[in-house]
Amino acid sequence: GTYTHSFDTPAFKGDVTINTGLFINGQWVDPVEESTIDVFNPATGKLITKVSAAGPKDVDLAVQAAQKAYKTTWGLHTPGTVRGKLLNKLADLLEKNFDEFAALEALDTGKVFDKAKAIDITGALAVFRYYAGWADKIQGKTIETTENKLAYTRREPFGVCGQIIPWNFPMVMLSWKVGPALATGNTIVLKPSELTPLTALKFASLINEAGFPPGVVNILNGYGPVAGQAIAEHPKITKIAFTGSTLTGRKIMKAAAETNLKVVTLELGGKSPTIIFDDADLEQAAKWAAAGIYFNMGQACTAGSRIFVQEGIYDKFLEKFTGITQYLTQKTGDPFTSGTEHGPQVSQLQFDRVMGYIESGRSEGAKVLVGGERHGEEGYFIKPTIFTDCKPEMKIIREEIFGPVCAVMKFKTEEEVIEVANDTTYGLGCNVFSLNINRAIRVAHALEAGSAWVNCAQATELQVPFGGYKQSGIGRELGEYAIDTYTQVKAVHINI
Ligand code: NAD
């Protein structure tokens, strides 16, 4: 079936139509066994629509289609120049529907419409164009060997890739997965998060128009433990890419290991430190620290949730940081009203989880300086929240909260702060603020994280690899690294 949403908001007016089925082999189909997902508007808590949910049989049909496409029309059968052209065509279509995508993304996730435009859809578009450019630049090496032999390497696709993405940046995460996989000649079975299925459905409707052969891209909404697990276990999927929680990442790796040893890349959670030294530009540091934690309502895997401030500037920093936090609180509200800065959490469950963490912080003796409660009567809004008086063993310091909640802590020395900042099982990002470039670089190198931001926060660049140390993940996305993670190396030996 189809669903049409009529937007009548100050920021966007118009009808957006999506197909609510499963996109398999270039066609919209219903699940073999009927199952649906209720899709809610996080700003109101009301039902938007229902969409189809895939089961293991649907996953299997999608994998068969993807495998056939890989062997007959895609894979080694379509040259890079053509793959690049199709990816650019896809980007053109996305651009043509820019506002519709942004509106749907804001409706489904609760993120602010203007930000969905400036960050999510702009970002996804840039990723497709970037990997369109890579499609005809995938190269091997020639290697000198002893005797009369020539050896060279090729970077070949894996075949059918399973891709499972989260709800915090649905279109951006989709582009990070789909862009490099198609550029390198793989075919795809992708499952969006059951919390945010809408933009992926709109995206699926562009695939045929862009000119991809049937079966190259298959998009199935479905529940994690059902459709997601079926993807992780499918013996014909040779590579799986996942972004989400560390707990689910573990399950996927286990399923991959126990079935056919799929190659696994994982982008998981984080508990990133923000470290502000006495010699930082205080104004900038406070601004970036706020962006670091409150970006996307704290629902970012790189969220700077532990803020360490050197003792000499602790009070001054807290004053400025509190000011920005209170400003955001005043700008909390409807995602489609211009001027809104802070929207709701994505779901009732996430709202409850985050409120649970706030409660646990209080009961373990931390102090709520700002926020700590819901905003408004309806929807899943939580006020930006600052904790002080925290201890390293508290749950709010150890576990990923994934909401607009941070802890501000005092430190004395560089050695001490490196030690406590690294005292976590995660290792995704870190932010360092100091105008002493030697110190900033020294600390950035000493922190155990896949990305270090110096005098800034949260900015991923599409040319730069992104991924985690420790339990924050395996492998890298973006840049040339993604080309590597979506290809396997073949060595060819020739006797001359
Ligand atoms: P999740 O890991 O359960 O969901 C992410 C994706 O995995 C979804 O598409 C989901 O359907 C799928 N999934 C769930 N169980 C699966 C299984 N057994 N096999 C295969 N796929 C499965 O995350 P969540 O429950 O939506 O959020 C919980 C927490 O995860 C958050 O609070 C946050 O800490 C973390 N998270 C991190 C990121 C990130 O970008 N690193 C994104 C979203 C959530």
**Is the pLDDT at 331 greater than 90, yes or no?**
yes
With beta carbons less than 8 A apart as the criterion, state whether 300 and 458 touch: yes
Q: For 332-339, what is the mean pLDDT?
A: 96
Q: 412-447: per-residue pLDDT in tens?
A: 999 999 999 999 999 999 999 999 999 999 999 999
Q: Are 185 and 66 in contact (CB under 8 A)?
A: no
The alpha carbon of 166 and the centre of ligand 1 are apart by a number of angstroms equal to: 6
CA nearest neighbour of 467 among 486, 484, 482, 487: 482
Mean pLDDT of the chain: 97
Instruction: Dump pLDDT digits (tens) for 379-418.
Output: 999 999 999 999 999 999 999 999 999 999 999 999 999 9
Average pLDDT score over residue span 197-210: 98
Higher pLDDT, 62 or 146: 62
Interatomic CA distance for residues 108 and 347, integer angstroms: 10
pLDDT value at 175 more than 90: yes
% of the chain surpassing 70 pLDDT: 100
Q: Is 113 in the pocket of ligand 1 (CB under 6 A)?
A: no
What is the band of 132 on the pLDDT scale with cuts at 50, 70, 90?
Answer: very high
- Ligand 1 centre to CA of 240 (Å) is 15
For ligand 1, whether the C-beta of 193 sits within 6 Å is yes
Query: Residue 148: its pLDDT value, please?
Result: 85
Residue type, 333: G
For the four alpha carbons of 329, 333, 335 and 337, in that order, the dihedral sign comes to: negative
The tens digit of pLDDT for each residue in 9-26 reads 989 999 999 999 999 999
First to last CA, the chain: 60
Q: Mean pLDDT over residues 476-494, rounded?
A: 97
pLDDT at 36: 98
Ligand 1: distance of its center to the CA of 265 in Å? 14
Is the Cβ–Cβ distance between 138 and 183 less than 8 Å?
A: yes
**Among 37, 111, 164, residue to substitute to test ligand 1 (most atoms within 8 Å of Cβ):** 164
User: Is 243's C-beta closer than 6 angstroms to any atom of ligand 1?
Assistant: yes
Q: Specify the ligand 1 atom closest to the Cα of 194.
A: 11
* Pair 257, 227: CB distance under 8 Å: no
Distance in Å, CA 262 to ligand 1 centroid: 19
State pLDDT tens for residues 33-44: 999 999 999 999
Residue 50 CA to residue 59 CA, distance in Å, equals 19
Distance between CA atoms of residues 329 and 362, nearest Å: 20
Q: Is residue 168 lining ligand 1, measured as CB closer than 6 Å?
A: yes
Predicted-complex ipTM score: 0.94
Q: What is the mean pLDDT of residues 331-347?
A: 97
Give the pTM: 0.98
- 194 annotated active-site: no
What gap in Å lies between CA 240 and CA 237, rounded to an integer?
7
- pLDDT digit string, tens, across residues 250-301: 999 999 999 999 999 999 999 999 999 999 999 999 999 999 999 999 999 9
Beta carbon of 228 within 6 Å of any ligand 1 atom? yes
197 lines ligand 1 (CB under 6 A): no
Mean pLDDT of 362-367: 98
How far CA 462 is from CA of 124, 343, 432, 477, 485, in Å, comes to 10, 26, 21, 9, 15
Q: Whose CA is nearest to atom 25 of ligand 1?
A: 245
Atom 12 in ligand 1: which residue has the minimum CA distance?
224
Predicted local confidence at residue 349, as pLDDT: 98
Per the residue annotation, which of 100, 105, 267, 477 is the catalytic one? 267
pLDDT of residue 324: 98
Q: What angle do CA 299, 301, 307 make, to 5 degrees?
A: 85
| Average pLDDT rounded to a whole number, residues 341-353 | 98
Among the listed residues 63, 269, 94, the one whose alpha carbon sits nearest the alpha carbon of residue 166: 269
CA 157 to each of CA 79, 129, 132, 479: distance values in angstroms, whole numbers, following the listed order: 12, 20, 16, 17
pLDDT tens-digit readout, 59-71:
999 999 999 999 9
Q: What is the mean pLDDT of residues 223-237?
A: 98
Q: Is 245 in the pocket of ligand 1 (CB under 6 A)?
A: yes
pLDDT at 146: 82
Centroid of ligand 1 to alpha carbon of 46 (angstroms): 22
Radius of gyration of the chain measured on its C-alpha atoms: 23
**Structure tokens given for 377:** 């009567």
**Protein residue with least CA distance to atom 10, ligand 1:** 224
Question: Measured from the CB, is residue 210 less than 6 Å from ligand 1?
Answer: no
In angstroms, what is the span from residue 244 Cα to ligand 1's centroid?
A: 4
* Contact partners, residue 128, CB within 8 Å, separation at least 6: 87, 88, 90, 91, 94, 175, 178, 179
